[in-house]
Amino acid sequence: MTRASFFILFFFSCLYIQAQSDSCEIQYQKDKTLYEKQLAQVKETDFSDLLKMIYKDEEYKSFIQPDKNIILNILLLGRQKSTSENKNRNGCRKFEKKGYYDLYEKVWTKDNFLYFAEQNKDKIIIPAVNSVIIYNTSELKERIKWDTNTGKEIDENGNIQYFYYNTGLKLKQSLTTDNKYEHFSILGIAVLPVAYKSKENCYMIQLQFNDIKSDFKYSTPKVYQYKNKSWEFLESY
C-alpha cells in the first residue's frame, strides 16, 4: 500500500468513526429526551380508569381463580445498571434509565390498591413488588396506610420473611415453598410507558400469572393511550 493510499484510507476511517460517534450521541439524546418526557407525562396521568379497564379484560378474568387467594406482584422496570455491557450491537452506549418509581406511586395509589382489594374482597391479598417471593412491603403499607395483618413465609432453608396482607380474612398457617401455590395464585401487573407510533402518553400492559410453581402464563401485551383525561385501547401486540 502506498503512503497516499494509506492516508486516504485513514482519512475515510476517521470520517466513519466520527459519523458513528455523532449517530450514537444523537440516539443517546433521543432516548434521554423520551425518558424525561415519559416521566413528566406519568405525573399528569390518572391510572384509575386504566386499572378498571384491565379488570374487565377477559384474560384478566381468566387469571382470577375462584378457589385461590392472590399475591399481587407489582411489576416494575427498575434502574438500568451502568455496566461495560450497557451498549447496543453497534457499540453505542445506552441511555441509563433510573426506573419508573413515579409510575409505581401513580398506579398503586391508596384508592387504586383498595379498589383492587374490594374487587377481590373474598380473597386474601398479599402485595409484592418485582418478586414472587414475598417480602416485607412496609414502604407500601406506610404510603397507602391500609389496615393489614402480618403473616410469614418460611423458605426452603428455614428462613422467615414477614409480609403484610389485607384484613378481613385470616391466614390459617404460615406459607412455605410447598404450600404457597395450594392457597395462592400469583398475579403480576406490568404497566410501562411505551413509544407507540406517533401517539403521545401510551402504556403497554401485560399480566403475568402462575398458580403452579415455575409455570408462568402471560397475557397478550396491549397498548393504551391516555388523552384528554380518558383512556383508549389502541392495539394488542
For residue 89, being part of any structural domain is answered with: yes
Q: Which cell numbers hold the place of 181?
A: 401455590
In a domain, 2, yes or no: no
Q: Minimum mean pLDDT among 34-38, 78-82, 127-131: which range?
A: 78-82
Give the span between the Cα atoms of 203 and 215, in whole angstroms.
Answer: 26
Let me know if residue 150 belongs to a domain. yes
Could you tell me if residue 167 is inside a domain? yes
Lowest mean pLDDT among 55-59, 65-69, 90-94, 188-192: 90-94
pLDDT of residue 7: 40
1 belongs to a structural domain: no
- Please, is 54 exposed, middle or buried when counting C-beta atoms within 10 Å of its C-beta (0-12, 13-18, 19+)? buried
182-228 residue pLDDT tens: 888 889 898 999 999 989 999 999 998 887 666 778 899 999 999 99
pLDDT digits (tens, 9 = 90+) for 4-21: 444 444 333 443 434 445
Whether 129 maps to a domain, the answer reads: yes
Q: How many structural domains does the chain have? A: 1
Residue 166 located in a structural domain = yes
Q: Is residue 230 part of a domain?
A: yes
Residue-number span of the structural domain to which 215 is assigned: 7-236
Helix or strand holding residue 155 (H, E): none
